[in-house]
C-alpha cells in the first residue's frame, strides 16, 4: 500500500467515525482554551479538566488573571506538571494580553507565539479549535502515530517536519479535525508503551514502524 492510499483509508475511516471531533479540554472562551492548552503540556487533559474549573471561576479572563500574583495562580495549578513555570507563564501571558491586545487572544499565529509560554503547538491548537483555521498541532501523540502508521517518512524527525508533511498530504478542510483524530488514536489505541494493535481499525494496513516513533 502506498502512503497516499494509507492516508485515504485512515482519513475516510475517521471522517465517518468521528465527524464532529474536538479537543477534550474544557473551556468557555478563547482565553480559557489558551490557558488550558498551555497547562496541558506534558500533562493529561483529564488532570487539566480537574484543575481549570476552580482556576476559571477565580480568573475567568485575561483582565482578572493579569491582576494576580504568580503565587495566587500557583495555588490552583500545583497538581499539574511544572506548576511553577506554568503559573509564571499564565500571569505574564495575561498581562501581555491586557497591555498589547486589549485582553483578547490574537488570531495571528505570529502574535500568539510571542505570548509567554505559548509555543507553536499551543498556538496551532488555539488557531484550529477556536478560530477554525487549518493548522496541525503536533504533540507527542500526533508525532508517534504519524511515524508508526507510516504517514510521514523517517526523516520527518522533528515536530515541525511532521507538521509540514501532514499539512501537505491532508485536505485543508479537514486538517483541524485530523489533529484530533491522530491525537485521540495515540491517546487511546496507539499508546506509547503498549499499543493496542489488536483493537486498532488499521491493524491490517499499519506498517507498525515502532522504532524511533516517540517524540525526541
Catalytic residues: 121, 139
- 8 Å CB contact between 38 and 96: no
Kindly state the greatest CA–CA separation across the chain. 56
- 8 Å CB contact between 52 and 26: yes
Amino acid at each position: 500500500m502506498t502512503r497516499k492510499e494509507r492516508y485515504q483509508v485512515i482519513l475516510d475511516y475517521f471522517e465517518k467515525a468521528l465527524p464532529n471531533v474536538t479537543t477534550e479540554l474544557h473551556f468557555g472562551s478563547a482565553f480559557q482554551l489558551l490557558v488550558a492548552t498551555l497547562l496541558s503540556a506534558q500533562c493529561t487533559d483529564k488532570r487539566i479538566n480537574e484543575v481549570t474549573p476552580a482556576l476559571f471561576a477565580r480568573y475567568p479572563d485575561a483582565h482578572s488573571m493579569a491582576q494576580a500574583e504568580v503565587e495566587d495562580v500557583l495555588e490552583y495549578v500545583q497538581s499539574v506538571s511544572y506548576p511553577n513555570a506554568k503559573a509564571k507563564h499564565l500571569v505574564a501571558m495575561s498581562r501581555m494580553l491586557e497591555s498589547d491586545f486589549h485582553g483578547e487572544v490574537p488570531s495571528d499565529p505570529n502574535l500568539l507565539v510571542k505570548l509567554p509560554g505559548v509555543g507553536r503547538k499551543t498556538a496551532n491548537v488555539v488557531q484550529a479549535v477556536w478560530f477554525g483555521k487549518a493548522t496541525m498541532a503536533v504533540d507527542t501523540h500526533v508525532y508517534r502515530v504519524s511515524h508508526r502508521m507510516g504517514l510521514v517518512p523517517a526523516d520527518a524527525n522533528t515536530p515541525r517536519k511532521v507538521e509540514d508533511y501532514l499539512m501537505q498530504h491532508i485536505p485543508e478542510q479537514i486538517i483541524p479535525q485530523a489533529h484530533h483524530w491522530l491525537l485521540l488514536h495515540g491517546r487511546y489505541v496507539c499508546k506509547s508503551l503498549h499499543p493496542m494493535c489488536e483493537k486498532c481499525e488499521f491493524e491490517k494496513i499499519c506498517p507498525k514502524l515502532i522504532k524511533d516513533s516517540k517524540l525526541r
